[in-house]
Amino acid sequence: MEDSPPLDGRQCPYINDCPMFRRIMTDALRKVFIDLFCKGDFELCERKKLRDAGEPVPDDLLPHGGRLSRPI
């Protein structure tokens, strides 16, 4: 998968160890989440909000707040 650079040069500080990526099996979908959240408006990521607040982050929580019932 080819990574696209962040539009503003910033990216989520948790991008390299986010367990969500273990549950997303397709490169195309992984790239969508990375572009929209990890290298986009990552302050809107529900995973990041919980982690920053010191709360547990469920592995199946998606950046937009939806949940995965199985790997995709």
Q: Please enumerate in sequence order all residues whose Cβ is within 8 A of that of 61, keeping only pairs 6 or more positions apart, or say none.
A: 20, 46, 47, 50, 67
pLDDT (0 to 100) of residue 2: 44
* Residue among 26, 37, 40, 33 nearest 72 (CA): 26
Confidence band (pLDDT; 50, 70, 90) for 24?
Answer: confident
**pTM of the model as a whole:** 0.77
Closest of 50, 71, 49, 52 to residue 60, by C-alpha: 71
Q: Assess whether pLDDT exceeds 90 at residue 41.
A: no
